[in-house]
């Protein structure tokens, strides 16, 4: 559990497929372990119901109705994990539309969620995805993700975007750390 009045915190690594959410989540976990020894991360895609996984494996884009229960689960599991594990948890979840983020937040109001978007343009993502194997995300789902993508604007609190184009993993990690500094420090 957390100490004092600090709310449990969840960092959501957001963005379209192939932006580096899983890669960066693993790096941030190592960095934040000095302050939060039990922090780990959940791959949001692993808690999709089987019907959603079947659709995605056939490159059929999910509808919003397919997503609501899954988003609630992502919210619940990561909030509970933050409470159980030193007050901080990390989850990867594309969170493309603002209404998805709002549902994650409103479903676990006891927890603060920070949406950290990783962004790269469609061509870079297509290049990465087509090179990658062993993943259910098909290249032809990328267009649908880009048409859904609604990056957080200045009015959305506890959210920011890191442009990953042309940056090494280390550079991206540094920018993410800078964005998260205040959130993770608990101020």
Ligand X SMILES: Nc1ncnc2c1ncn2[C@@H]1O[C@H](COP(=O)(O)OP(=O)(O)OP(=O)(O)O)[C@@H](O)[C@H]1O
Of residues 10, 12, 17, 159, which one binds ligand X by CB under 6 A? 17
Partner in contact with 128, chosen from ligand X, Mg ion, none, beta carbon below 5 to 8 Å by kind? ligand X
**Closest alpha carbon to 36 in 62, 9, 54, 14:** 9
Please state, as a whole number, how many other Cβ atoms lie within 10 Å of the Cβ of residue 40. 16
Of residues 10, 11, 14, 19, which one binds ligand X by CB under 6 A? 19
Q: Which is nearer to ligand X, 2 or 150 (CB)?
A: 150
Binding region for ligand X (CB under 6 A) out of 18-26, 29-37, 67-75, 178-186: 18-26
Partner in contact with 187, chosen from Mg ion, ligand X, none, beta carbon below 5 to 8 Å by kind? none
Residues 65 to 104 in contact with Mg ion, rule: CB under 5 A:
none
Question: Do the Cβ atoms of 18 and 132 come closer than 8 Å?
Answer: yes
168 in contact with ligand X (CB under 6 A): yes
22 in contact with Mg ion (CB under 5 A): yes
Question: Do the Cβ atoms of 122 and 142 come closer than 8 Å?
Answer: yes
Least distance between Mg ion and beta carbon 137 (Å): 8
In a 3-state reduction of DSSP, which class is residue 45? helix
Strand ranges inside the chain, DSSP E: 9-14, 41-43, 88-92, 112-119, 159-163
Question: Do the Cβ atoms of 2 and 83 come closer than 8 Å?
Answer: yes
33 in contact with ligand X (CB under 6 A): no
């Amino acid at each position: 559990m957390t100490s004092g009045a600090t709310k449990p915190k969840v960092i959501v690594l957001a963005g379209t497929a192939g932006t580096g959410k899983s890669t960066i989540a693993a790096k941030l976990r190592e960095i934040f372990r000095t302050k939060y020894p039990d922090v780990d991360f959940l791959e949001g895609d692993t808690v999709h119901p089987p019907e959603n996984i079947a659709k995605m494996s056939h490159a059929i884009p999910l509808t919003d109705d397919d997503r609501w229960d899954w988003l609630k689960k992502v919210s619940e599991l990561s909030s509970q994990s933050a409470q159980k594990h030193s007050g901080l948890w990390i989850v990867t979840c594309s969170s493309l539309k603002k209404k998805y983020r709002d549902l994650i937040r409103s479903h676990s109001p006891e927890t603060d969620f920070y949406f950290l978007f990783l962004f790269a343009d469609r061509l870079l993502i297509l290049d990465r995805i087509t090179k990658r194997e062993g993943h259910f995300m098909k290249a032809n789902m990328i267009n649908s993700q880009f048409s859904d993508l609604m990056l957080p604007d200045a009015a959305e609190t506890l959210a920011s975007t890191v442009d990953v184009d042309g940056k090494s993993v280390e550079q991206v990690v540094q920018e993410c750390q800078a964005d998260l500094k205040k959130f993770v420090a608990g101020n």
